[in-house]
A and B are shown apart, each in its own frame.
Chain A
């Protein structure tokens, strides 16, 4: 009894983590959309086949261990001699086991191959085309449009309409990255000098987390992005907002903040559409306040975190390209007010 009482919290945590793995914003076991469902189907098939094989092998081992062979005394029992019928039986058993194993492996290979072909057989433009460029360590997101003036740039977050096929064009700027949103699809690499294409779709609305899945440097683990799947109308509204240039300052403090941005170091790397800031080394900040995270999923996008990030980005994400910026307090607060207004 004392065992159960003492271990209950531990067991509870274990159970929760096992169950928790089956749902969430970043799991391949809670799929939505064709891609992730195909991945899950093959995962479940492999899991159950391998589990069955494992159980059968252990049962055979158990049977072999427990089987009664009669008493054996080395002093009196003569050396066992080869006996043709037994040899034949053993040979047949091993032969059947090998054949079943080979057949299983071939069947799984065929299933895996056809699932892979299914996953990457789509083509066409898709309802929405998004170009994603991998950088160390963030995602540049470019919504393409037939009319160039309708395209816009964002970072570390993509929105997609539910039920539509979305074409994702993958490129890289520096090293190889990999785009992986487990709830929506398998992985695909972003390779410098090569364009890869992936088709996503989401069956239900929700926010999903993606992660760089190819080691790309010190902050590889802090290179995440969010995918927000939302109903078509909401998506159209969001898209319309993102296309607009940045909001003009509404009051004196935001005005000052804009001046700090344009005259200070920010303008050297970042873009704010509708102002003079047009550098592309860092993420586009035109609608920074509408995004969920800063630092590619490193921190939630709140005024406090943003302030900390601007003052010292090297503590939460050492090695990233943004240098520490020690601004005078009034300038700093004004800058935060301005950035907060960029919805």
Chain B
């Protein structure tokens, strides 16, 4: 490899490396056509989700994931999910997913809510922030690259940082009775 080629390669790598810290203050939602990928049919809550494969660009951007971390606290997700350990709501740091682990599934859960507890945040949280939250939520069970997942929290640490969390492969769990909506 000639020095010139080497220089080009290094420059190219340097340019791509910038994505990790790129800060977009007025971004478009990564998947504007969300409603086309996720159908919230009347039978949907409680049924296993169709497997969807979406790409959330924020999962490769450390700034966006850090924003998601901040929003997780600001919007009081902690109130029910307690730093991912679970409380009133299910834990988010384990590998069990009731409504799907795909970014679009998480976004749909936040926007539309789920039976027996999870409220709908449609119209309350800008969609772009919902995607940031989704990226952070996936980092809680180690699904994000270690160089992107947050390495510390702004507040008192109650668990290992996300970038030290081992990867917990997503498992679709049986629907809990509370989600069947028979009442």
Contacts and interface: CB of A to CB of B under 8 A. Distances in A.
A324 B123 contact: no
B123 A263 contact: yes
Contact of A265 (B23, B26, B74, B123): B123
A303 B124 CA distance: 23
A225 B182 CA distance: 55
B123 A264 contact: yes
Given A263-B123, A264-B124, A324 B26 contact: yes
B128 interface: yes
Interface in B112-126: 123-126
Interface residues of A, number: 18
Nearest to A268: B124
Interface in A266-281: 267-269, 279, 281
Interface string B45-70: 00000000000000000000000001
Contacts of B75: 268, 281
Most buried by B among A268, A279, A281, A324: A268
A314 B26 contact: yes
B16 interface: no
A262 to B, nearest CB: 10
A19 B102 CA distance: 64
Contact of A318 (B25, B70, B129): B25
Interface string B150-169: 00001000000000000000
A318 B74 CA distance: 19
A279 B125 CA distance: 13
Interface string B6-32: 000000000000000001011000000
B26 A312 contact: yes
A205 interface: no
Given A174-B154, A314-B26, A323-B129, A267 B124 contact: yes
Contacts, number: 34
A268 B128 CA distance: 15
Interface in A126-178: 174
Contact of B74 (A281, A314, A325): A281
Nearest to A264: B123
Nearest to B73: A281
A265 B124 contact: yes
B23 A319 contact: yes
B25 A265 contact: no
A265 B125 contact: yes
B67 to A, nearest CB: 9
A323 B123 contact: no
Contacts of B128: 323
Contacts of A267: 124
A265 B126 contact: yes
A116 to B, nearest CB: 32
A267 B75 CA distance: 10
Contacts of A319: 23, 25
Nearest to A315: B26
Contacts of A264: 123-124
Contacts of B76: 279
Interface of B: 23, 25-26, 70, 74-76, 123-126, 128-129, 154
Nearest 5 pairs of A and B residues by beta carbon: A314-B25, A281-B74, A323-B126, A314-B26, A318-B25
Given A263-B124, A265-B125, A323-B129, 15 more contacts: A263-B123, A264-B123, A267-B124, A268-B74, A279-B74, A279-B76, A314-B25, A314-B26, A318-B25, A319-B23, A321-B74, A323-B126, A323-B128, A324-B26, A324-B126
8 contacts: A269-B74, A279-B74, A312-B26, A314-B26, A315-B26, A318-B25, A323-B128, A324-B26
